[in-house]
Structure 1
Amino acid sequence: MEWILLVLVGLLAGTFGSLLGLGGGIIVVPALLFLTPYLPILQGLTPQVAVGTSLVVIIFTGLSSTLAYMKYEKVDYKSGFLLFIGSGPGALIGSWVNKSLNHDSFSVYFGLFMIGCSILLFFKDRMKPKQKDRSSGYVRSYINDKGETYTYGFHPVFGAIIAFGVGFLSGLFGIGGGSLMVPAMIMLFLFPPHIAVATSMFIIFLSSIVSSVTHITLGNVNWVYALLLIPGAWFGGKWGAKINQRLKSKQIIQLLRIILVIVGVRLIIQGLA
């Protein structure tokens, strides 16, 4: 029964992670920490092992969903590689800093981070930059199924700095970084939500490889947990991408806000209890 529950956690994480461009760690890490007192198989689990294991699982969620989004032609590879230049080193450093956090402080910081991302999304429309702000940087265009043209982009240096911060938090919290990368893409760079989600999963796939190597070196990966979580995460990644194509942009953002608040509040309560 415990094994089946972990498989279901992986499935839920992969589905929501792919659907919203989060990577799935936002589900895996809190779920593992929350279930630790109740499942004998998780006894002795530390935040570091939860994070390290989550990042290994995210590799497969990221790969699965990226392959699925490729079929819909929603992945902006050039933007993804440019942003990975910053997120890769950030993920490496964040993974090392993770060693200094205990269970309670980890939960509180993680929860505050989630709620902060939700608040940023709430003010998304007011925080949009003007098109001319990016005229001297990297500019892209996208035409959706209705024939509507979207222009988005970023200055490479500014994009790398933002991505570095996202990568750092990814390695620190084991969440893939999409909970911050997607809002940043939408608010700061004007990415269409569907493109932001798909490209975020591509970046998450690359960054999670870097973070995972570090956590594996530190001995922070429980391979039994990972093997139970990966199958569900793989199929969930594909299903999430399919569901994403059926939702409107506003629905994706609204769902993202709700998930971030619920998870954030739950983690803070758990950390302060």
Structure 2
Amino acid sequence: MELFNQHSAAWLLGLALALLATGLVAGVLAGLLGVGGGIVIVPVLYHLFTLLGIDEAVRMHVTVGTSLATIIPTSIMSSRAHRQRGSLDVALIKRLMPAVIAGVLVGSVASRYLSSASLTAVFATVALVVALNMAFKRDGFALRDGLPGTVGTSLIGGGIGGVSTLMGIGGGTLSVPILNALRVPMHTAVGTGAMLGMVISFPGAVAFIINGLGVPLRPPFSLGYVNLLGMALIVPATMATTGWGASLAHRIDARRLRQVFAAFLALTALRMFHALLT
């Protein structure tokens, strides 16, 4: 863990306040848009760590690792809530789970060898696709009815697990639109995504802790690539404000808000690509 006496008290206070603000923003947007917190937390943390001068060599690793750690408690609570409401399809989860776990393991191992630039490229690419889907998806669009055969389902599950681990997001960001495009009812798709978030976040966070042990240039209060201060501040702030976002969702134009967030994601992705190329 980095020694915090390397930074001034003002810098550390700024870090704490910025992390708290990250949690507040992530919670409100997650409640408003119905998206997983990770797809909000990662770009906000990326911008925050850039402004605070966190070294580029570890910036994205700490961002992804911290995001995965924050997803653990929220995904547990979310999956329990969906289970109580009957929105979990056990048969569907059983079909996806083995491949998702395999994908998480592959992503966890790969994260040890990928550079920060590579992780940034992965997030930027998928975030841009997610943004385009949010902005232009047509109502009623579907690829087919239900999951494909064993091979196709394995590819879908493995892709969700592996890519989500490398991006620092829960399963919902990828699984919900994919399952919905396979005509899985939205409530079931969201409940499934919450359950997959549990499977992805815990081993993913553990892998980023192990992979980052002893690595220099990490921000203060970091255990491996997981920033403990970030987790301690983001998790309660996110949980406290998700309900606010859900309430606001009934008072504003949700479609317009999704387009605004899609624009934010797209701009973040483009900024990441620009940083990689310059």
Return the TM-score normalized by structure 2: 0.73
Identify the range of structure 1 (55-64 vs 239-248) with the bigger mean alpha-carbon deviation: 239-248
Shift of 1:263: 3.4
Alignment of 1:45-194 (within 5 A): 45-70=58-83, 72-120=85-133, 122=136, 128-131=142-145, 134=146, 155=149, 157-187=151-181, 189-194=182-187
Distance 2:174 2:24 in 1: 22
Distance 1:16 1:253 in 2: 10
Is contact 1:20–1:197 with CA below 8 Å preserved after alignment?
no
> Counterpart amino acid of 1:216?
I
Identify the range of structure 1 (162-171 vs 192-201) with the bigger mean alpha-carbon deviation: 192-201
Distance 2:276 2:241 in 1: 28
Identify the range of structure 1 (240-249 vs 205-214) with the bigger mean alpha-carbon deviation: 240-249
Q: Cα RMSD over matched residues?
A: 3.4
Shift of 1:261: 2.5
Identify the range of structure 1 (198-207 vs 120-129) with the bigger mean alpha-carbon deviation: 120-129
Structure 1 residue aligned with 2:7:
none
Shift of 1:112: 1.7
Secondary structure in structure 2 of the residue aligned to 1:46 = helix
Is contact 2:171–2:194 with CA below 8 Å preserved after alignment?
no
Structure 1 stretches of 5 or more lacking a match? 135-152
> Counterpart amino acid of 1:225?
G
Distance 1:32 1:241 in 2: 22
Shift of 1:55: 0.5
Over 3 Å counting, the alpha-carbon distance change for 1:161 and 1:233 in structure 2 is: same
**Quick check: 1:215 aligned with 2:229?**
no
Shift of 1:56: 0.6
* 1:218-247 superposed Cα distances (whole Å, 9 cap, x missing partner): 232222222122211333455556667889
Over 3 Å counting, the alpha-carbon distance change for 1:245 and 1:196 in structure 2 is: farther
Taking every aligned residue pair, what percent have the same amino acid on both sides? 29
Structure 2 stretches of 5 or more lacking a match? 1-12, 212-223
Shift of 1:250: 6.7
Alignment of 1:196-207 (within 5 A): 196-207=189-200
Alignment of 1:25-64 (within 5 A): 25-39=38-52, 45-64=58-77
Over 3 Å counting, the alpha-carbon distance change for 1:80 and 1:126 in structure 2 is: same
Secondary structure in structure 1 of the residue aligned to 2:226 = coil
> Counterpart amino acid of 1:166?
I
Shift of 1:118: 3.5
Shift of 1:90: 0.7
* 1:129-172 superposed Cα distances (whole Å, 9 cap, x missing partner): 344xx4xxxxxxxxxxxxxxxxxx55455333201101101111
Distance 2:30 2:94 in 1: 20
Secondary structure in structure 2 of the residue aligned to 1:191 = coil
Alignment of 1:210-249 (within 5 A): 210-218=203-211, 219-239=224-244
Is contact 1:18–1:24 with CA below 8 Å preserved after alignment?
no
